[in-house]
Amino acid sequence: MEQVIDYQCDVLIIGSGAAGLTLALHLADHANVLVLSKGPLTEGSTYYAQGGIAAVFDENDSIESHIQDTLIAGAGLCDPEAVAFTTQNAKKSLQWLIDLGVGFDRVDSADGESKFHLNQEGGHSHRRILHAADATGRAVQTTLVQQVKTHANIRVLERYNAVDLITSRHTGQNSSDRQRVYGAYIWNRAAERVETVAARFVALATGGASKVYQYTSNPDVASGDGIAMAWRAGCRVANMEFNQFHPTCLFHPNAHSFLLTEALRGEGAVLKRPDGTRFMPDFHEDAELAPRDVVARAIDYEMKRLGADCMYLDISHQPSAFIKEHFPTIHERCLSLGIDITQQAMPVVPAAHYTCGGVMTNLHAETDIPHLYAIGEVAYTGLHGANRMASNSLLECLVFAQAAAADICQRLNDVELKLELPRWDESKVTNSDEEVIIQHNWHELRLFMWDYVGIVRTTKRLERALRRIELLQQEIHEYYSNFRVSNNLLELRNLVQVAELIVHCAMQRKESRGLHYTLDYPELLSAPSPTVLTPKQS
């Protein structure tokens, strides 16, 4: 076998958000780390996260309360062990960020002591959200990037796509060893060629798959790459039917699905119909602070009932100075679009926001394949259950990245680095002259996923979606087999795979629970369990 390794490292981390960079920094004193970033290092869901990170810092709060709130929001499908593990390690993980220099907001108490300002968001019974104004993700990502760029043991490749994981299937090992991972094929977007990385360990930190829907709050990079690659490599996935739709994205032709943080409602913003009347008290006793799935369905219901393009989120009753201090990013962005939130209500619609399911892992973040890890939104840890509670997402990234780092460091010297890997074969492909096919399939997929596998579902809609997915898969497979790869082709290939997983999970769940609501099965099952899919072994 010809040795054609372009890069070699101890740990390859695919993804450069909070999960990936936290893992890199915790490993860097012990291992040689290579981080793959699909775009610039600052691009990704972490950077755009507004609300904050949940942890118990208030003396009147408790870890047990955080656990109970998470279990309730997860609608009976959380793994209690994962919830306890995450919440018990929350403060330590946040303290690490604080020590790195992340500037979480503080406030002076009555006795003159400076304490963290804690927000309260939907599903939380206490104020426990550390935040940096309304741009927490930006503060976290910027700090992590600064640290990563100065560490000698971390190398970053920007504008690279992961194509596929290299496992024993590629190396010709016997079937008993087929679950080992050896590295990955990566696509150099600048040079337009596929390169090979050999690694002792590989970590997927690629985020979620909300780009499978027409309307999403996520950046363009959220195309389900890690989930699709892990599935193709032989990993189980779970709970892909639970797609969280953020209730309040700004409805404006130039807003590009700009997210309006949950913290607005935590600070008193109310949802209104076009005529100015409130409606959330009609749907839930917690009104605007109800779990996200309840709020999103209520907005969707009112829009359909009234034939309205949007609903409205109003915080203008709060003092102008308060709004500008707590929500400067939102105030400035809305003002640039002609909306003064100190005087006007904000037009809002739901949009796909978070993938609660993903690649199954243990509490060390390791997947079914030895030496392959999955961290953050790409993973299914059991923390979120049927609905993620606000501000538990970045927390999961931090806690499980640190857990994975500890596990990898213990095993680092026991795992060989295999340098004889098969060459990427381009001998039978040509350059495409039909890029329009990718664009057409891309738009078709995202539209029917929104229409048929969205906030409210039926069995018939799911069946329609699956038929269209199967046709798209045939076209995409033929295209992938005959033409050289491109960014759009790689993302479309992954998105259509993730779409199939979402639909299969949704079809298996014969109830309405959390984020999965179907008109055909509106009741709850008495003994629910996670929806687990296992790939066929070839």
pLDDT of amino acid 178: 47
pTM: 0.90
Return d(Cα 79, Cα 84) in angstroms, integer: 9
Give the pLDDT confidence score for residue 113 in this predicted structure.
Answer: 82
DSSP state letter for 279: -
* Helix, strand, coil share (%) of the chain residues, nearest 5: 40, 20, 40
List of long-range contacts for 324-328, beta carbons under 8 Å, 24+ apart:
325/133, 326/133, 326/134, 326/263, 326/267, 327/133, 327/134, 327/261, 327/263, 327/264, 328/133, 328/134, 328/135
Cβ-contact 83, 363 below 8 angstroms:
no
Distance between CA atoms of 128 and 105, rounded to whole angstroms?
Answer: 12
pLDDT confidence of residue 205: 98
Q: How many CB atoms within 10 Å of residue 41?
A: 21
Instruction: Compute the distance between CA of residue 295 and CA of residue 167 in angstroms, rounded to an integer.
Output: 43
According to the model, what pLDDT value does residue 98 have?
Answer: 96
Residue 322: CB atoms within 10 Å:
13
Domains of the chain are 7-51+138-241+356-414 (3.50.50.60), 245-352 (3.90.700.10), 435-483+486-522 (1.20.58.100)
Model pLDDT, residue 423: 86
Residues ≥6 apart with Cβ < 8 Å to 327: 133, 134, 261, 263, 264, 315, 341
Q: pLDDT tens digit string along 134-162?
A: 889 999 999 999 999 999 999 999 999 99
Which helix (H) or strand (E) segment holds residue 196: the answer is: strand 193-204
Residue type, 192: E
Q: For residue 147, give Cα distances in angstroms to 47, 97, 153, 269, 402.
A: 15, 11, 11, 36, 16
Task: Tell me, yes or no, if 278 is annotated catalytic.
Answer: no
Secondary structure in 3-state letters for 114-174: EEECEECCCCCCCCCEECCCCCHHHHHHHHHHHHHHCCCCEEEEECEEEEEEEEHHHHCCC
Compute the distance between CA of residue 201 and CA of residue 181 in angstroms, rounded to an integer.
7
Structure tokens at 322: 């308060």
Q: How many CA atoms, within 13 angstroms, populate the side-chain half-sphere of residue 301?
A: 12
pLDDT for position 2: 53
Could you say which of 292, 297, 457, 468 is catalytic? Answer: 292
What integer pLDDT is reported at residue 173 of this predicted model?
A: 61
Q: How far is CA 141 from CA 5, 119, 154, 398, in A?
A: 31, 20, 16, 12
Tokens in use for 306? 């009234």
Pick the closest to residue 97 from 5, 25, 27, 157 (CA basis): 25
Tokens of 28: 């860097």
**Integer angstrom CA distances of residue 148 from 19, 42, 403:** 13, 12, 19
Q: Judge whether 100 and 24 are in contact, CB under 8 Å.
A: no
* Residue 50, amino acid: Q
| Low-confidence spans in the chain with pLDDT less than 50 | 1, 175, 177-178
pLDDT of residue 26: 98
Q: Which run of H or E residues covers position 199?
A: strand 193-204
How much is the pLDDT for 369?
A: 96
